[in-house]
Chains A and B, each alone.
Chain A
Amino acid sequence: MEVTVKIFRYNPEQDKRGHYETYKVEADENDRVLDVLELIKGHTDGSLAFRRSCAHGVCGSDAMRINGRNHLACKTLIRDVGANITIEPLLGLKVAKDLIVDMDPFFDNYKKMLPYMINDSPLPADGKERLQSPEQRARFDESTKCIMCAACTTSCPSFWASDEYYGPAAIIAAHRFIFDSRDEGASERLQVLSETDGVARCHTAFNCTNACPRDIHITQAIGEVKLAMVTGKLD
């Protein structure tokens, strides 16, 4: 079928601001939006710039706004979005070119969460693994799925308002460790997250949860972090 694709274009070396360009391509309804982008880049306009790698929703490269909502281009099929598609870059991050945004602030926020295991206690005497029950493991399973695509953070109205907000993706990273029974850094992370630019900026708008291509219950995880600050309970 014929698909009409309207794409946001911005070439920093020529344009003062972005504009839209419309392309018509032949595509199958089971094609990914990414396939359509590749086709346009391959045959119509090679200068179209976007990131991609894995092509099946596990690397987090190609988050973008498709028909007004954040998606991974490689995990969105034509049959899900119809024959008229508008593709725009993520909101709230600088557009570097076409659909490519500057991801550095996003990763900087991630790094503020001390996103690594903190545990200075001695290892088990037998030198083997630290024990963890399947239930304890399940406690933070959700948040380990994050591929850092930024679809959530760039859909959050609080992040649009100010990029000082750490954003849902960073909170998910913190959640991953706070509720890991082997980790001992929960306190430090909670202190960071209790700052004005931390979880206080989340007003449960749920855009993040709806945008997440990994179906992580982000708002719930943020809620759990908020409650942990109040009760101190980490289980």
Chain B
Amino acid sequence: MAGRTLPLSKRGFNFETTMWVFTRFTVVAMYGLIIAGLIGGLMMSAKTGANLADIFYWAFFPNKAGNVIGAYIGATILAKLMVSAFVLVVCGHGVHGVLEILDDYFSAPRVRRWSRNFIISYAVVASLIAMYVIWNR
């Protein structure tokens, strides 16, 4: 009566399963990045003397001019990398989340194909814009 384990090809590990894992993975990643961001923010608040609340505020609501984070983005390559990672992860997560919702309501194969195409194009366009902005400022 030994333990039973199915090989990878036989356990139904397909697109849906992958995305399920991906969503859980992005949760961990997002929390990781948020915590890293907060620590970074805290360190910066120590440097700039800005208070904690300001840091939180500017971290989550971008401001075109005089944005603390905006300024911070330009600061180091590391920060740029982190923000890019965050945007990509959020984009993947959010975009798939919307796909989930669409899949719930529309089950005709044709509609599902279209929602998938739409969602993927959205992800690509949004990521491109974000990457361009982050790396060109």
Contacts and interface: CB of A to CB of B under 8 A. Distances in A.
Report, as a range, how many residues of chain A touch the other chain. 35 or more
Given A187-B6, A194-B16, A228 B107 contact: no
B60 interface: no
Contact of A197 (B3, B14, B105, B107): B107
Interface string A126-141: 0000011100100000
A164 interface: yes
A7 interface: no
A230 B8 CA distance: 8
A196 B8 contact: no
Given A162-B105, A190-B12, A232 B5 contact: yes
A235 B1 CA distance: 10
A228 B13 CA distance: 10
A198 B16 contact: yes
Interface in B3-40: 3-8, 10-14, 16-17, 19-21
Interface in A53-84: none
Interface in A131-185: 131-133, 136, 157-158, 161-162, 164-165, 181
Contacts, number: 85
Given A200-B100, A232-B10, A194 B5 contact: no
Contact of A229 (B5, B7, B17, B107): B17
A14 interface: no
Contact of B12 (A131, A157, A191, A235): A191
A226 B18 CA distance: 11
Contacts of A32: none
A233 B2 CA distance: 12
Interface string B86-109: 000000000000001001111100
Interface string A211-235: 0000000000000001011111111
Quick one: which of A161, A186, A194, A226 has the most chain B CB within 10 A?
A194
Contacts of A187: 6, 10-12
Interface in B57-97: none
A230 B17 contact: yes
A18 to B, nearest CB: 24
A219 to B, nearest CB: 15
B105 A195 contact: no
A132 to B, nearest CB: 8
B75 to A, nearest CB: 39
Given A187-B6, A234-B4, A228 B105 contact: no
Contacts of B8: 232
A172 to B, nearest CB: 17
Given A194-B13, A200-B16, A229-B13, A234 B6 contact: yes
B17 A235 contact: no
B1 A131 contact: yes
25 contacts: A133-B1, A162-B107, A165-B104, A186-B6, A190-B12, A192-B12, A193-B12, A194-B12, A194-B17, A195-B14, A196-B16, A200-B17, A200-B20, A200-B100, A200-B103, A201-B104, A203-B104, A226-B17, A228-B6, A229-B12, A229-B13, A229-B17, A232-B6, A233-B4, A234-B5
